[in-house]
Amino acid sequence: MARIAVIGAGMGAMAAAARLAVAGHRVAVYERGATYGGAVRRFERAGFAFDTGPGLLHLPAVYRDLFVKTGREPLESVVELSQVDPAARHVFPDGTAVPLPNASRAGVLAALDGALGAGAGERWSDFLGRAREAWDRTRRPLLEEPLWPDWQVLGRDPYPAEPRRGLFGRRRPAAPGTLAEVARRELKDPRLTALLESYALAYGFDPRTAPASAAVLPYMEQTFGSWYPRGGMRALADALYERCLARKVEFAFGAEVTRVVVADGRAAGVELSDGTCADADTVVAGLAPGRLPALLKDAEPWGADDVRPGTDAERHAPGRFTVCLALRGPRPADAAHRTVVHAADRAAELAAVFGQGQGALCDRPTVTVLRPDDPGSRPDDDHEAVTLSAAVAPYGDLALPSASDGEGAESGETPAQAAAADRLTEAAEAAIPGLRERVLWRAVLPPAEGESVRGPALAGDGGRFLLPANRTRIPGLYAVGGGAHPGGGLAHAGMSGALVAGLIVNGDDWRGSQ
């Protein structure tokens, strides 16, 4: 039985902890905060509850596998999951609205044809067919296996190049380019472009620089479906925490790790802010990999030829600005769980979010509206809880910590935050007419300075969108969670935990699903 110290209690870290405990190891988790779950957060006040992190679960098979492998109770026995239908309703600047059915390619085609005109659905379906090719080529190396030592081969974009007619009528393959170039070349309709780019924005990517392989993001959601756990996304974190406890994982909250102890060239434990040390045979770091060198003092976790933290994609990833609205009046029975209200000016939004502006919100941003049909989110059926969110630059006035108490007037909000919250609410009226008249109170939750949305690893662009490997150059030290391979998002965090556990239990030569 090995002693394993896990730094952080995020979803990837807990996924690794549960699997390692089942394998017979003694696992202790050290979390500097007061609770578990990482970005899977829930804000509660006066009988209202709001998901303020991920709003839906995609690829539920990742967590089904986790719960099957860590106990006899399957996921659905501890979390009530239901498919959300429609998966999302999209409202475009010209007023066109289209509800996209859940996990139905034929249904999406028909819905797009009906709303955007004949041919729109076929163009989108053809695009998804090419996205499937990219998914099939990268699913194993980017989701199911440790990062390859020869990761450079993943720098080639797997999105299939379209043949173009060149000189003398010869057909030559065109380079896939960026996701924005794919949209311009293949989708043509600005509303389909907005639809595609909204998936990139939701995962923290700038479509103008993200590789064409980011096409796997809409493919993943539209193929495997969107799921909601009763009690909110926090219910999934609760279930994973309880599973860890049942497998004898020990948790220490308010326990900040200030140093990873290295002895005889390998990880040998952790030192806490109170000066105490916890010996360990293995250390699993569930924190931003960029923080690891400071915890190691003189040791270096990655070599010069490794994928290293702090890529351009990470540095420019946006934060999430969230507004929780407590509403008077019942939720309509036909309300969509998720509505995406698209930005009026795409160029202005991308400039504001990805660095050309001063961190301010554009006049009409893309706003995601969540209004779950969940009795646990509201005090009674005469009220409704709605969450609004938009991508913002991870710096500037909007990213400062908020002191809002969420009661009545926005007394704790900075002027910039209050103006941004007003703008999100105004935009959201395209999804909920008369929204502002229904507001009882609101809570504004800006991202912490530098806090950004973590997207999954993507192939292409020379490997710029890959994440550091789970296995570091220091024996006995592993990286897990959204900042490490295979990247951010609930499904990818869960797979990160599985990969780390596999490497520790089966040895560093383990190749995952291969």
List, for residues 30-54, the tens digit of each pLDDT value: 999 999 999 999 999 999 999 999 9
Residue 286 lies in a domain: yes
Q: Percent of the chain at pLDDT above 70?
A: 92
- Where in the sequence is the domain holding 486, given as residue range(s)? 3-38+62-67+232-312+455-506
- One domain, residues 101 and 178: yes
The residues, any chain, with a CB within 8 Å of residue 127's CB and separated by 6 or more, are 182, 186, 187, 196, 215
% the chain with pLDDT above 90: 81
Six-digit token pair at 353? 């979010």
Residue type at 296 in one-letter notation: L
Give the C-alpha separation, 31 to 255, whole Å: 5
> How would you class 90 by CB atoms within 10 Å of its CB: exposed for 0-12, middle for 13-18, buried for 19 or more?
buried
Tell which of 208, 224, 240 closes a domain. Answer: 224
Tokens 């990139």 correspond to what residue? 200
Asked if residue 208 belongs to a domain, the reply is yes
Residues 219 and 243 in one domain: no
CB neighbourhood size of 396 (10 A): 18
**Residue 460 belongs to domain with CATH number:** 3.50.50.60
Within-domain flag for 53: no
Which residues make beta-bridge pairs with 384? 327
How does the average pLDDT of the chain come out, rounded?
Answer: 91
3-state secondary structure of 128: helix
Res 514 pLDDT > 50: no
Domain check: are 111 and 218 in the same one?
yes
Tell me what pLDDT residue 234 has. 96
Section 7-35 average pLDDT: 97
HSE, side-chain direction, 13 A CA sphere, residue 36: 27
Per-residue buried b or exposed e for 171-201, using 16+ beta carbons within 10 Å of the residue's own CB: eeeeebbbbbebbeebbebebbbbbbbbbbb
pLDDT of residue 408: 35
- Average pLDDT score over residue span 206-211: 96
* 438 and 459 co-located in one domain: no
Task: Say if residue 368 is in the same domain as residue 469.
Answer: no
Looking at the structure, do residues 126 and 174 belong to the same domain, yes or no?
yes
Per-residue model confidence (pLDDT) at position 410 = 40
If one counts the domains in the chain, the total is 3
Q: What is the pLDDT of residue 335?
A: 96
- Check residue 314 and give its pLDDT: 59
Please name every residue paired with 445 in a beta bridge, in sequence order, or none if there are none.
322
Q: 194, 224, 254 — which closes off a domain?
A: 224
Residue 403 predicted with pLDDT over 70:
no
The answer to the question of residue 378 being in a domain is yes
Same domain? 429 vs 384: yes
192-to-137, 183, 208, 359, 496 alpha-carbon distances in Å: 25, 8, 15, 27, 32
The reply to whether 367 and 386 lie within a common domain is yes
Q: Which residues are CB-neighbours of 295 under 8 A, at least 6 positions away?
A: 257, 258, 259, 260, 285
Q: What is the DSSP letter of 63?
A: H
Q: Provide the pLDDT for residue 83.
A: 95
- 477-479, strands of its sheet edge to edge: 250-253, 26-31, 3-7, 282-285, 477-479
Contact between residue 385 and residue 416 where contact means Cβ atoms under 8 Å apart = no
- The secondary structure of 228-239 as a DSSP string is EETT-THHHHHH
pLDDT band at 298 (very low <50, low <70, confident <90, very high): confident
pLDDT at 404 (0 to 100):
38
Output the pLDDT for position 411.
Answer: 46
The per-residue pLDDT for range 342-384, each reduced to its tens digit, is 999 999 999 989 876 556 788 899 999 999 999 999 999 999 9
pLDDT band at 170 (very low <50, low <70, confident <90, very high): low
Q: pLDDT band for position 201 (50/70/90)?
A: very high
Say if residue 401 is in the same domain as residue 492: no
461 within a domain of the structure (yes/no):
yes
Range among 298-307, 444-453, 495-504 rated most confident? 495-504
Query: Which residues, listed in sequence order, are joined to residue 370 by a DSSP beta bridge?
Result: 338, 387
Q: Where are the beta strands (DSSP E) in 291-405?
A: 319-328, 338-341, 367-370, 383-392
DSSP H helices, 216-371, are 216-224, 234-246, 292-296, 312-315, 346-353
Q: DSSP alpha helices (H): ranges in 38-101?
A: 61-69, 75-78
List CB contacts of 44: < 8 A, sequence separation 6 or more: 50
Q: Which of 179, 135, 145, 54 is nearest to 454 (CA)?
A: 54
Q: What distance in Å separates the CA atoms of residue 449 and residue 473, rounded to the nearest whole number?
A: 30
The model's pTM is 0.93
How many of the other CB atoms lie within 10 Å of CB of 329?
A: 12
Domain boundary residue, one of 181, 201, 224:
224
Residue 81, pLDDT above cutoff 80 = yes
Residue 431 scores a pLDDT above 50: yes
The pLDDT of residue 355 is 78
- 150 shares a domain with 104: yes
Please state, in angstroms and rounded to a whole number, the distance separating the CA atoms of residues 499 and 15: 10
Residue closest to 391 by CA, chosen among 367, 358, 364: 367
Does one domain contain both 340 and 430?
yes
Please state, in angstroms and rounded to a whole number, the distance separating the CA atoms of residues 241 and 190: 43
